[in-house]
Structure 1
Amino acid sequence: MDPYIAVLTGFGLVVLLTAWLPMVLRELPLSLPIACLAIGAAVFALPGVPGVPDTPPRPADHLEITERATEMVVIVALMGAGLKLDRALGWKSAALTWRLLALAMPLTILALALLAHATLGVDLAAALLLAAALAPTDPVLASDVQVGPPHEGEEDKVRYALTSEAGLNDGLAFPFVNLALALAIAADTGEPWLADWLLVDVAWKLASGLVVGVLIGRGLGWLTFRLPDRARLSSTGDGFVALGITAVAYGLTEAIHGYGFIAVFVAAVAFRAVERRHRYHATLHDFIEQLERLLMMALLVLLGGAVSAGGLLTALDWRVWLFALAAIFVVRPATAWISLLGCPRPAHERAVVAFFGVRGLGSVYYLAYGLGHAGFAVEAPALWGAAALVIVLSIVVHGMTVTPVMRALYRRGGDSRPGPP
């Protein structure tokens, strides 16, 4: 078969599965990411499949492509997460979120870095890079525990906290990734790094991401919803406008060396706030969600191929397994639980929030970014193996448990009404 025809046919199958699989899996203890991973592993493991390259996908061999591909799916997911939120992201309405960001995330990075240094034998800079890559809740793969589409009322406290956390902590992980890079470079050159890291990587990049996100979201929201009726842009009904907002917010922020991840999510929240109840938000969300699922499925198929044929998990030993199991079942649940102590929510709701710290394509992005910007040649195989195992375990464990756990939560009286936590 002509390879082009084979690839075209395969792409069509991926599109159909992207549309149909969520409906098929809705009542099962499975998820779309699990199916994507399994499909990729099977396709690349079978010999002679038409259109499948002889060389299996290996993220470490194509760092720039890996970085850009995962970057795209993450910013699309961040736009979708921001558009989902029916409630404003206020101090009281997002109390759980602020605790997770201010306490759970730094504690998670510290614990994972120490664990990686002790179990994997990597130096502190490499351990910090791995920890920062694995700490954020992934906005792409966490969709099953996030709030529903705009105006559909699926916004209980648990889903709201996990959605807003995933929207913000990807950008907030960047200072720690850059700290790991600064430590690695300073170890080779001896140059001072602390002042530059604090002023640029923390203060400037965070502030510029926030400010640009607000300005872009508010400005484009005003153009969309506040112009006179004859020029009311919201009447176009074009969902791909969401992609334009995403690209503009990300591009302008990165152009001034800010954190584009933060800008995209903040822009979505600010855009939504201009006219919160307008039906056009549902149109925008539907388009961006479909694009996100298509990109996610394609990348997870490749990740499955990297696992089964690319040797991503072949060099694992008991130390890597110890690190990965502790990251999923101990570190995130414990640090999130600590951060939520004293919060006036039932214990079972806090337990669900603590457990569902999903790891995924955002971690691949940060690892590819970090390895492409500093010399971690010796530690790179260990970092890729540990990160890949954590991601695969998260996809399987969280994907199989989310449906029964969320059902049990609602049976126990999980509050699905908007309001303060």
Structure 2
Amino acid sequence: MKPAWIYLALGLALFLAVIVPPLLQRFHVNGPIVLVSLGLVLGLLPGFRDLDLDPVSHGTALTHITEFTVLVSLMGVGLALDRPLSLRDVGSWRTWSPTWRLLGIAMPLSIAGVALLAWGPMGVAAPAALLLGAALSPTDPVLASDVQVGGPNEGEGGGGEDHEDSEEVDEDDEVRFALTSEAGLNDGLAFPFVHAAILLATVGGVSQWGAGWLAWELVGKIVIGVAVGLAAGWAVARLAFTARTEELRFAATGEPIVAIAALLATYGVSEVAGGYGFLAVFTCAMAIRSFERKSSYHHDMHEVIERLERLLTLVVLLLLGMALTNGLLAHLDWRGVAISLFLLLVLRPLVGLLSFVGHPHQSGPRDFDRRERIVAAFYGVRGVGSLFYLAYAATHAEFPEIRWLWSVVAFTVVVSVFLHGFTAPLAMDWQERAKQPAGTPD
């Protein structure tokens, strides 16, 4: 591809990042659907048709692009969540009960369900089957904006009553909270199972690496990631809100770029220490948010993160759409279609509902009723995180089925974008109608 076409594509992407969101908001159109569709069209145009978008050939670049996109989104999600979570407050842990259930029950069952279906009836080799289950297990914080909470409130006097009221509605919405917090945490918790697939492909049977994997990949790295995130978040928040020197008190000077600095530094420290950087970044954002909840500085930081996330998401979705019309689905067969539809239409809703069995109707600010549980169970949006995990694994081990895996994962992400994007407004309206008093018009 000639440099002129690259500059043209980047220029159009930047213009779209500015123009598209307000238009989509006005017409109530789902952004990811438009961006993927636009990418499909661009991929057919002269100049773009010959663009080399082979994920196998560009695995390292794709890993870093999707990695940074997910990191930015995780920072935004952590800053947006208003519900407290204190290590010393058992009551606050109970209000996160839907999250723990989705992480501890729905996610492992999703991994097992996809892996067993691919390995057994579909005849896929065990390492590739496990990798497919792990890559498709996390829900996505990037593409699920229609079913997630909004940004942080702006505090008293920081942004006006209208903004605060809308955020209060978001934060008391058990569906939005459950899906947002799940997406924030499960991107890091999928990593142990991706590593298990890599070990299965490179080392051999589970007996040769199972004990070390359990102690280090499943426990040690998670503990380090959370610890680094808490420490980094506390340090950044302490500096931003209580530094003795006003020039270093970023909340007073209103320097929102600190959010990006905190993201990069936290991720770097966690990875150097051997922990999971995704968990560290999300935990860091949560720690900053918990330090001082009333400040409008949270909104300032979230706005910067949101703008960067918007640009990165636009680039990834455009490239994904163009890749789809440039051969990315060439290796898709009936097995891949069956696995994808089974995950989205059967497995995720089923294990999601199963995870809420025995869950009290009021563990958070208000009831979590039957309609809300159905919506929360169904909307496990798959997206950029799945692309990252597959790209990461492909650069760390040889998987003979890698092109088939790319076709299946790309197909699943696109189906999820359209399926969940078109139905999300209807589903949210449906579950909200149950909250209206009798006789209230819809």
Quickly name the TM-score band, shorter chain normalised.
over 0.9
- What is residue 267 of structure 1 aligned with on the other side? 284
Q: Distance in 2 between matches of 1:119 and 1:372?
A: 28
Q: Distance in 2 between matches of 1:218 and 1:111?
A: 39
Matched, 1:342 2:365: no
The Cα of 1:237 is off from its aligned counterpart by: 1.5
The Cα RMSD (Å) is 2.0
Q: Which digits, 9 at most, give the CA deviation of each residue in 1:101-125, with x for residues without a partner?
A: 1111111111111112135421122
Matched, 1:173 2:161: no
Q: Which amino acid aligns with 1:306?
A: A
Q: Distance in 1 between matches of 2:103 and 2:26?
A: 32
Deviates more, 1:53-62 or 1:357-366: 53-62
Q: Which digits, 9 at most, give the CA deviation of each residue in 1:210-243, with x for residues without a partner?
A: 1000000011101111123734221222222111
- What is residue 158 of structure 2 aligned with on the other side? none
Q: 1:5 to 1:381 in 2, by over 3 A?
A: closer
Q: 1:93 to 1:136 in 2, by over 3 A?
A: same
Uncovered stretches (5+) of structure 1, i.e. residues with no partner: 416-421
- What is residue 210 of structure 2 aligned with on the other side? 194
Residue of 379, 390, 399 corresponding to 2:412: 390
- What is residue 34 of structure 1 aligned with on the other side? 33
Q: Distance in 2 between matches of 1:211 and 1:172?
A: 15
The Cα of 1:379 is off from its aligned counterpart by: 1.3
CA contact (8 A) 1:29 1:401 kept: no
- What is residue 440 of structure 2 aligned with on the other side? none
Residue of 301, 305, 309 corresponding to 1:284: 301
Query: Helix, strand or coil: the match of 2:274?
Result: coil
Matched, 1:327 2:343: yes
Q: 1:28 to 1:357 in 2, by over 3 A?
A: farther
Q: 1:137 to 1:122 in 2, by over 3 A?
A: same
Q: 1:383 to 1:347 in 2, by over 3 A?
A: same
Q: Which amino acid aligns with 2:58?
A: H
Q: Distance in 2 between matches of 1:42 and 1:98?
A: 41
Deviates more, 1:117-126 or 1:333-342: 117-126
- What is residue 65 of structure 1 aligned with on the other side? 61
Deviates more, 1:243-252 or 1:84-93: 84-93
Q: Which digits, 9 at most, give the CA deviation of each residue in 1:130-186, with x for residues without a partner?
A: 100000011111122110111132221111111110000010001111111112222
- What is residue 203 of structure 1 aligned with on the other side? 219
Query: Helix, strand or coil: the match of 2:150?
Result: coil
TM-score by length of structure 2 reads 0.88
Q: 1:6 to 1:317 in 2, by over 3 A?
A: closer
Q: 1:222 to 1:414 in 2, by over 3 A?
A: farther
Q: Distance in 2 between matches of 1:403 and 1:56?
A: 36
- What is residue 107 of structure 1 aligned with on the other side? 109
CA contact (8 A) 2:72 2:263 kept: yes
TM-score by length of structure 1 reads 0.92
Uncovered stretches (5+) of structure 2, i.e. residues with no partner: 86-91, 154-166, 362-367, 438-442
Percent identity at matched positions? 44
Q: Which amino acid aligns with 1:287?
A: V
Q: Distance in 1 between matches of 2:68 and 2:314?
A: 13
Q: 1:275 to 1:58 in 2, by over 3 A?
A: same
Q: Which amino acid aligns with 1:402?
A: A
Residue of 310, 316, 323 corresponding to 1:306: 323
Q: 1:375 to 1:351 in 2, by over 3 A?
A: same
Residue of 251, 264, 267 corresponding to 2:268: 251
Matched, 1:369 2:398: no
Q: Which amino acid aligns with 2:395?
A: G
- What is residue 359 of structure 1 aligned with on the other side? 382
Q: Which amino acid aligns with 1:399?
A: G
- What is residue 310 of structure 2 aligned with on the other side? 293
CA contact (8 A) 1:22 1:31 kept: no
CA contact (8 A) 2:246 2:252 kept: no
- What is residue 9 of structure 2 aligned with on the other side? 10
Query: Helix, strand or coil: the match of 2:56?
Result: helix
Q: Which amino acid aligns with 1:34?
A: I
Q: Distance in 2 between matches of 1:352 and 1:209?
A: 30
Query: Helix, strand or coil: the match of 1:297?
Result: helix
Q: Distance in 2 between matches of 1:102 and 1:364?
A: 23
